[in-house]
Each structure stands twice: as C-alpha cells, then as structure tokens.
Amino acid sequence: MSTTPIVPELARLAPVGVAELVDRAALQTRVDRKYVVPTEVLPRLLEQLAPQARVLDIDGGRTFRYKSVYFDTPQLASYHCTAYRRRRRFKVRTRTYVDSEQCWLEVKIRGARGSTTKHRLPYHPWDSGTVRPGRDFVDEALVRESIGPAAGSALDPVLVTEYRRATLLLPETASRVTIDTGLTWRDGTATLRLPGLAVVETKTASAATTVDRMLWRRGIRPARISKYATGLAALRLDLPDVPWRRTLRRHFRGAASPAAPEPTISPRPEQETSCV
C-alpha cells in the first residue's frame, strides 16, 4: 500500500488528541458526505484549512493504517440488501488499527428510518479473518436489531480493504473530516488499487463543513461509495451495482489487477437475496 501524499501538509496543522477529538466531535447523530478526490487536490485543500483545522496526532503519528475484513453469507445477503437499498440492512466486519495492533469486531445495522447502530466487541488481531470467536456477539446483535434471518447463517470473509487515514477536527463547527489514501481492495482472486484517489468524508451535525464548500467550489460533489459494496462490485462484475454505477464508471473501471478480467460496462443479471 502506497504512503499518503499529504504528510508535509499534515505536519503543518495543529494537533489534537483522541480524547479531545471524541469530546468535541463525537457526533452520535450526524450527516455524512463522501467524496472521491484526486490526491493532487489534497495538499492545496489542507493548506487552505491550516488556520482552522487540527489533525489527530497519536505519539507523533498523523496517518494511521486501517485494515478491514468484511463478512457475508454465501448468498451475499449483506451486499444485496445494500445494492437493493433495503431499509433494514447489516454489515459485519473486523477493523484492525494496524499501528496500535488494536482490533474490533463490528456489527453495523441500518434502521428503517435511516439510523445506523454500531455494535463493537474488542477482538484479537489474530482472529481478524474469522467471526468464530465472536459469533454469539454477532448473532445477538442481529437478533436484537430484528435482522434475525442472518443470525446463524454462515459468515465468511468476502473482502479485505486497506488504507491510510488522517482525521481532522474543525473546532468551529465541531465537525470531523477523514481522508483515506492508499486505497486497496482484495477479494481473494483479484486486487484493486486506486493510488491517485482518496476518499474524503465529512461528518457534521447538520450544515455543510468548510471542506464540503471547498470541494463544491472545485466541482467535486458527494459520491455514493461504500468501501465494502462498491469495492466488491468493482471486483465482481456479476453483482448488481445500480447505487454505485456512476462512481464505478468514473473512478474504478480498469483499476483491477491483471489477475481479474479487464472490466467492461455491460448489463448485469438481476440477483436478489433475502436479508430480513
């Protein structure tokens, strides 16, 4: 995974620690906007933000390696519920903070009214590729959130994502911004990398942030992108991809490694599976 191209610019920002970041911008109820941004845009963006933004700093580090393993049923119930925009859907993953060797098993539930609930269990990094040690935790969370049919179904590792993340605090609006670079996806047979692109996400209580407005002025608008679903759709051309088709066509097509067939845009077979 390539290193982030924004280290010099991040070094010029004032630091903020984890405790203060959480205290000032916990944002339990929030509006998220995601953007796919050319990495060449980032240095100037950070330069403009320098007077008002602070960057998460942990022991002198300002970018941190993330690795997520996503799990799904044999019928890809989690993926299909997202692809068909089911009001209630779920996601199961392990997230490893590589630099600190901390790992969590996470179950995310999207509710009927658009709310998202996250359940987290401390996990051993050695077990990041399996849900077996935390299977009871996963099933309890799914049943509690009325995603019962998925409980008890086999959950296998389907996709691995890796990237580097920098996190900014915008104190005036108590907002957070994450910048993910070095984006890589692997599904076991193919690898996809987007070295020239970053995913920028703004997290705010309501109104648009300074970063949103800066990107809008550059003609960069919010994009539909899910690291799990969009990445899997880019690697597996047999899957339905309607929610992310524009993002896939613009940014992902042709980026897969030679291990996978050359992607082409073509009609896809209709597939569906039950998740509730």
Reported as a single tens digit per residue, the pLDDT across 80-100 is: 999 988 878 899 999 999 999
Smallest Cα–Cα separation from 106: which of 133, 81, 82, 141?
Answer: 141
Residue type, 267: P
Smallest Cα–Cα separation from 49: which of 165, 170, 167?
Answer: 170
In 37-68, which positions are buried (b, 16+ CB within 10 angstroms) versus exposed (e)?
Answer: bebebbeebbeebeeebbbbbeeeebbbbbbb
pLDDT at 145: 78
pLDDT at 151: 75
Given a cut of 70, whether residue 40 has pLDDT beyond it is yes
pLDDT at 114: 57
Rounded CA separation 120/138 (Å): 9
Residue type, 76: L
pLDDT at 255: 58
Tens digits of per-residue pLDDT, 128-161? Answer: 999 999 999 999 999 887 776 677 789 999 999 9
Tens digits of per-residue pLDDT, 45-60? Answer: 999 999 999 999 999 9
When pLDDT is averaged across residues 220-248 and rounded to a whole number, the result is 94
Maximum CA pair distance of the chain? Answer: 51
Rounded CA separation 178/222 (Å): 14
Tell me the CATH class for 7-252.
alpha beta
pLDDT at 22: 84
In angstroms, the Cα distances linking 157 to 132, 147, 243 are: 11, 19, 23
Which conformational region is residue 209 in: left (phi greater than 0), alpha (psi within -120 to 50 degrees), or beta? beta
Report residue 270's pLDDT band, with 50, 70 and 90 as the boundaries. Answer: very low
